[in-house]
Amino acid sequence: MGRQKGHKNKIHIEYICDICLKKFNQKNDYNRHLNKLNPCKKQININENNDINNNINNDINNNINNDVNDKINDDKNDDNIITKLIEKIDLVIKQNEEFKQDIKELKEDNEKLKNQITIFNDISKSINNNQTINIQINNFNNTDYSKIDKTKLINTLVKEQGKFIYLKAIENLYLDPSKPENHNIYIADKNRGYVKKYNNGRWETDNMSIIDMIINNFVDYYKLSIDDIKSNSEKYNKLKNSINNKFKYIELCDLEYLADLEDEQLNDDTNNKERIKRCKEFREMVYEDIKILLHDKKDIVLKTHKTK
C-alpha cells in the first residue's frame, strides 16, 4: 500500500506492507517483498499481545469461577435433595405406623362384627322357626357403662356431629340388634310421659327423668374415655384436633359445666348469659330426640323379648 508524504515541494511515496507493516521507499523493493517465496507474517504489537493475554486470563478466571459456583450450587442442591428425601422417608414411616394401627383396629372391629352377626343370625333363625332362645337380659338399673367399648365411643365422638354424638351412642348401647342383652328400655308412647325399663325379669314404668339420667351417664363416660385416650400420646395426637373440636358438645350437656357458668354469672365474674342459654337449648334438643329414638325403635327391643 502506497502513502504520499510532502517535503520541500517534493512528493515522496512510502510503501507499507499490509501484512507485516514493513515500510519501503522504492516501489520495486515493495513489489519484491510482496512476491517473495516465503510470505511475511503478521506482526503483533505489544499492546495487542497484552490484550490477548488479558482476554485469555479473563476467560480462564471466568471459567474457574463458574465451575466453583456451579459446584457450590450443586452441593446445595444435593443437600436440599437429601433433606427432602429424609422428610419423605419420615412421613412414609409415620403413615405406615398409622396404617398398621388402622389395620389392627379394623381387624378387632371385624372380629366383633362377626360375633354380632352370629348372634343376630341365631335370633333370626329362632324367630323364623318360632323357637324361644335363652337370652339373659341385663337389668336397666345395672347398666355398666364401663363395659362400653371406649374406642367405639371415641369414634362416635369423632365421626358424629352435635346431638348425633349422643343418639348414636345410645343406639349402639340400647338398640343394637346384635346386642339383645341390652334391650332393656323403650318408650311405648312418647306423648304419655313415661318409659318402660326392664329389671329382674319384668317391665317397670318410670317417668321421663330416665332420659336425663342417660344423658348424664354418657357425658361422664365420654369425659372418662377422653381422659383415658390422653394416656396414649400417639393415639391422642392423632385424634386430639377432632376431639377438641367436638368436646364442646359434651360441655353443652354437662350439668356441672352449666352450674359453673351460672355461678360465674351470679357472682358477676363474667357474662355467660348466651352460653347458659345455648347449654339449656342444646340439652333440651338432645333430650327430645332421645325420646323419639326410644319410641321409634321400640320394635327392636320388643322383638327380642318375644323370642326369649
Per-residue pLDDT reduced to its tens digit, 130-183: 555 577 899 999 988 888 888 889 999 999 999 999 999 999 999 999 889 999
pLDDT tens-digit readout, 279-298: 999 999 999 999 999 999 99
Give the Cα separation of 246 and 240 in Å (integer).
Answer: 10
Q: What are phi and psi of 21, to 5 degrees?
A: 70, 20
Helix (H) or strand (E) holding 14: strand 10-16
pLDDT tens-digit readout, 85-119: 888 887 878 777 777 777 877 777 777 667 667 66
Which is more confident, 253 or 108?
253
Which is more confident, 211 or 87?
211
> Does the reported pTM lie above 0.85?
no
Model confidence band, residue 50 (pLDDT cutoffs 50, 70, 90): low
Domain parsing of the chain, residue ranges: 2-34, 137-307
Give the Cα separation of 293 and 176 in Å (integer).
Answer: 12
Give the chain's count of helices (H) and strands (E): 9, 6
